[in-house]
Amino acid sequence: MCVAVGLKPRRAAKEITKKTLRLCWDENPHGAGFMFVSDNKVLIEKGFFDFDEFFDTLMLARELHPDSWFGVHFRIASAGVISADNCHPFWIKEGEMAVIHNGTIQGLPGVSKDSAESDTCVFARDILAKLPDGFLENEAIRELIEDRIGYSKLFVLTADNRVFIYNENAGVWINGNWFSNTRWKPKPKKEELKIVWNDKRASRNFSATEAIAISKKHKTAKARGFVDFTKTRRF
C-alpha cells in the first residue's frame, strides 16, 4: 500500500526527517512525487526512482516555498504498471488542483495490475475532473466520493494553498503532518524470554507468551527446574 503525506508549510510544523522519508521510500519503492504551490499555481514534480534525487529536490522546494503545503507520495504498484507517468500526483485541473491517493479504487474501466494507467490516474481524470466547480466544499459530494473510494484516502491541494483530505481519520497526524498510514514505520521486534535450565543443559528461548503460560501452569519457574528468568530482551 502506498503512503500519501501532507506536509504543513515549513514555518507551521516540525520538518519531516530524512529518516522518515527514507522509510516511506523503502516501503513503497515504485516511484515518488510531490506537489506544492508557487505563485498561485500548483506545481508537480514526479517520476523519482532515486531517493537522493527525490530528497534533494523536495528539500530545495521546501526551502524556496516555506509557506506552501506539500503533498508527497510514495508508490507501491497495485493497479497500473510501474512508470513515471503512474507516479503521483495527478492533475484534477492543471495548475489549479492536484491529488495524491493511498489505496486501490475498485471497479474503474480498463484498470488492472498491468494496465498502462493506474486507478488514481483514471479516477482523477474521469471522475474528479468532471465534478462541478466548488465540489471540494460540498459535503454531499464529499460523502459520495468517500463512499466510492472505500478505504482509500485522497489528499487534494489547490492553487490557493488549501488542502482537502478524504477519509482523513483513516490516516494519522504526526508532528503536525498527515500520513495516510503508518505501514512505513519499522516493525516492532518480537519479545522473548530466555529460560535457563539448572542442570546446565542447552538453554531454550521461549516467546513471552509461552514463558508466561509456563510460569502460570507450574506456579513458579523454579518448581520446574528453572533457575533464572533473564530480562525481556529484543533481538
177: number of Cβ within 10 Å: 20
Cell, residue 160: 490557493
C-alpha cell at 157: 491541494
Return the closest-CA partner of residue 89 out of 40, 140, 42.
Answer: 42
The per-residue pLDDT for range 40-54, each reduced to its tens digit, is: 999 999 999 999 999
CB-count burial class (<10 Å; 0-12, 13-18, 19+) for 85: middle
pLDDT at 55: 98
Burial code (b: 16+ CB inside 10 Å, e: under 16) for 96-119 equals ebbbbbbbbbeebeebeeebebbb
Say if residues 6 and 155 touch (Cβ distance below 8 Å): yes
Query: What's the confidence (pLDDT) of residue 210?
Result: 67
Q: Where are the beta strands (DSSP E) in 39-120?
A: 41-48, 70-74, 90-93, 97-102
- What mean pLDDT, rounded, does the chain reach? 87
Residue 223 pLDDT > 60, yes or no?
no
CATH 3.60.20.10, applies to 3-179: yes
| pLDDT tens digits, one per residue of 173-209 | 999 999 999 999 988 765 544 554 444 444 566 666 6
CB distance 154 to 165 below 8 Å:
yes
Share of the chain above pLDDT 90, in %: 75
Q: What pTM, to 2 d.p., does this model score? A: 0.79
For the segment 22-29, the average pLDDT, to the nearest whole number, is 96
CA pair distance 147, 161, nearest whole angstrom: 26
Top-confidence residue, 234 or 177: 177
Sheet holding 172-174, edge to edge: 41-48, 32-38, 70-74, 3-7, 177-179, 172-174
Cell of 46: 514526479
Stretch 46-64: mean pLDDT: 97
Domain ranges of the chain: 3-179, 191-234
Please name the amino acid found at residue 19.
K
Q: Which residue has the higher pLDDT, 88 or 218?
A: 88
CB 76 within 8 A of CB 30: yes
Determine how β-strand 172-174 pairs with β-strand 163-166. unpaired
Side chain identity at residue 6, one-letter code:
G
Burial class (CB in 10 A: 0-12, 13-18, 19+), 22: middle
> Please, are residues 128 and 164 in contact by the beta-carbon 8 Å criterion?
no
What's residue 23's pLDDT?
A: 97
Tally of CB atoms within 10 A around 229 = 17
pLDDT tens-digit map of 97-147:
999 999 999 999 999 999 999 999 999 999 999 999 999 999 999 999 999
Q: Which helix (H) or strand (E) holds 192?
A: strand 191-197
At 14, is the pLDDT very low, low, confident or very high (cuts 50, 70, 90)? confident
